[in-house]
Amino acid sequence: MLTLLKKIFIWWNQDTIGTKIKTILSGKFVGEDHLGNKYYESKKGKRWVIYKDEIDASKIPVEWFSWIHFTPNKIEKKHDLKKYDWQKPHQHNLTGTDKAYYPNKNKDAAEKKYKTWKN
């Protein structure tokens, strides 16, 4: 019962019932990426993605980013880009976590700036 309510009301878990109905009625399956995300297009040209797991826009790989944003290039016709050894695999957004990027390697320096404002 809780899963059904999540599907109806909570859009950030995955696709809602409205998206599922729209996909069934007017969606043409275009392809799937290596993460399991599925890409659809309507007859009118609208494009959307149904994420495999948690919805995170940064999970759209380079091969599909240009397609979903209507950027014309060679990738749109061929979704299997050659990966190079120096390319890193996808990493989800780390903002707000301990692994977040700090321009200053010393985390205490950032905390010190905020502590001085309190005085």
Q: Output the pTM of the full model.
A: 0.61
Q: Per-residue pLDDT averaged across 24-33, rounded?
A: 89
Mean pLDDT of 68-87: 69
Higher-pLDDT residue of 75, 86: 86
> pLDDT value at position 64?
86
40 vs 90 pLDDT, higher one = 40
3-state SS, the chain, equals CHHHHHHHHCCCCCCCHHHHHHHHHHCEEEEECCCCCEEEECCCCCEEEECCCCCCHHHCCHHHHHHHCCCCCHHHCCCCCCCCCCCCCCCCCCCCCCCCCCCCCCHHHHHHHHHHHHC
* Domain boundaries defined on the chain: 23-118
